[in-house]
Structure 1
Amino acid sequence: MHAKLPHLFDEATRVTAGDSRWQGHTSDDYWAFVGPFGGATAATVLRALIEHPERAGDPLSMTVNYCAPIAKGAFDLDVRLVKANRSSQHWCVELSQDGGEVATLATAVFAERRPSWSHQVAKFPDATPFEQTLPFPKIKASWANQYEFRFVEGEMRIGPPQAELASTYSKLWISDRVPRKLDMPSLMSMSDAFFGRIFHARRELVPFGTVSLTTYFHTAADELAAEDITRVLATADAKIYHRSYGDQTAELWSPNGRLLATTTQIAYFKA
């Protein structure tokens, strides 16, 4: 029997440990228009933290600041445990290339998630089943073609500009195009796997890029594994675009009705 080949996502986010720095490598399979897909970069950083021998607990939150373009090729990850106590750890990760300046700066909190009172205030969105929702066509950016997007509502439509702006709200199923069981790194990556809300509003592609992304995890690794899922139902929206920057908020849900993660970001645009 032939050994099963690693999933492209695992190849793209693979890290190796060094003496003082970890190493990773960009992937052509997860490339955006001018650089690596930000979700894959964030997932690579998270994987380094999860695999770090001093790590304790599960990801609770992660903020990724994209400071400068990342060129194709290898990069270094300077991983530091800033502060730890009995229940949480605070980490800082700096991504750089060829000994140069920092291109990505990330902070993360890991925590021991102990049994407690639970109450999910948010309601699971109504949606047509995954199997009954049509997939979105492939596009030029390679990263997007590693995912399958099935829009329940708010599909991106590029066309002639209209007098009235379109809605920035979307509800969609997101899965790896080659199915892969969801784990924390892939949940992190999917939290950035949305088309820019400005594309939806203006019905056109404009220069756009995430500046800062924060994702909050509402599940522990063992709970996510027990969900045994390969896709999420997601909602995404924006509140404001002003003087070259705009926001985006999103929720990622298990098909079983559990809120897995919420995320917010600020992005640059030119329009």
Structure 2
Amino acid sequence: MSHGESRTGTYGIVTSALQEESMGSLDDAVRLEAAGPGVWTSYADPDHESINGMFGGWTAAVSVAAVIASADEALRPSALTISYLSVVTPQTTSAIHVERLGGSRSIDHWRADLRASDTGELQATASMVLTARRPTEAHDQWSMPRAAAPNALPEFHAPGTQGQQTDIRRLSGDDDGFGSGDTRTTHWIRMASGRQLDHLQLAYLADQFAPRSFYWGVGRRPSATLTMTVYFHATDDELAEVGTGYILNEATGTRGSHATSGQQARMWSPTGALLATTEQLAWYR
């Protein structure tokens, strides 16, 4: 398929033909319009705004959407690394420029650059690896932590409009933990719209953690993600099994010093399948 060709593929991504019905607000938020060979545009929906502009998970998800819309439908996302360069202003349009860098029958390497449509300013740049997921021998190093059922826990929404998009059930590390010195947190999470889990949603939810500097430091402080990597391990069957249900996110800090703070996280299905791992580096002061 040539870059920029319109289609609605396996993931329900909308390109130049607008769907009359959406699976959920995330689909509206990452809706793509073809704008030429290798170029897509997307509107920065203010429903996904954070205190620093558009939510970083939205930027990651729309980058994944643009690559999936351009790549071979038989391949699945395996890795994403995205760096955030400048603020994406809500209610503006961004152009996503995608390029296949190389690969083979089983592996594709892609780049996606998010630019402000009016000025051309580079807002984010992402690299992605897509692979053909074939059955092989398997290994699991970690086990899912024990957790109370999500329905037994109170519903929580993070601050801001983007916080209304997710339904969080916290097991540990709530706001009372800010300044405690313990950076470990665990929570159940799903999209409040009831959207089916897929790779776009995993990319979005990979950034749904309070900065670790809030926990090991004095509490809330200015902070922003500089770069984030997500490794997608989930199979299509495992994603389908989760459906519209919750996944379990556990996160921990690595080190914070000299204005940067690291964190790692694992994302589990309710039955204990490791769906994705993620790591990010944030700035703070």
TM-score by length of 2: 0.87
Residue aligning to 1:221: 236
Map residues 40-119 of structure 1 onto 2, 5 A cutoff.
Answer: 40-54=58-72, 56-72=74-90, 73-97=92-116, 98-119=118-139
Residues 154, 259 of structure 1: alpha-carbon distance in 2 compared, 3 angstrom cutoff: same
Q: Distance in 2 between matches of 1:139 and 1:173?
A: 13
Map residues 101-140 of structure 1 onto 2, 5 A cutoff.
Answer: 101-136=121-156, 138-140=157-159
Residue of 235, 245, 263 corresponding to 1:248: 263
**Identity percentage over the alignment?**
29
Residue of 257, 260, 263 corresponding to 2:278: 263
**Contact 1:157/1:200, CA 8 A, preserved across alignment:** no
Residue of 25, 28, 33 corresponding to 1:11: 28
The letter for the 1-side match of 2:53 is G
Residue aligning to 2:14: none
2:226 is the alignment partner of 1:211: yes
Count matched residues: 263
Q: Distance in 2 between matches of 1:222 and 1:18?
A: 33
Q: Distance in 2 between matches of 1:17 and 1:53?
A: 14
Q: Distance in 1 between matches of 2:221 and 2:256?
A: 13
Residue of 122, 140, 144 corresponding to 2:163: 144
Residues 54, 117 of structure 1: alpha-carbon distance in 2 compared, 3 angstrom cutoff: closer
TM-score by length of 1: 0.91
1:55 Cα deviation after fit? 5.3
2:206 is the alignment partner of 1:191: yes
**Contact 2:52/2:224, CA 8 A, preserved across alignment:** no
Residue of 134, 157, 163 corresponding to 2:176: 157
1:181 Cα deviation after fit? 1.4
1:24 Cα deviation after fit? 0.8
Q: Distance in 1 between matches of 2:243 and 2:152?
A: 20
1:135 Cα deviation after fit? 1.9
Q: Distance in 2 between matches of 1:22 and 1:82?
A: 17
Residues 129, 203 of structure 1: alpha-carbon distance in 2 compared, 3 angstrom cutoff: farther
1:99 Cα deviation after fit? 4.3
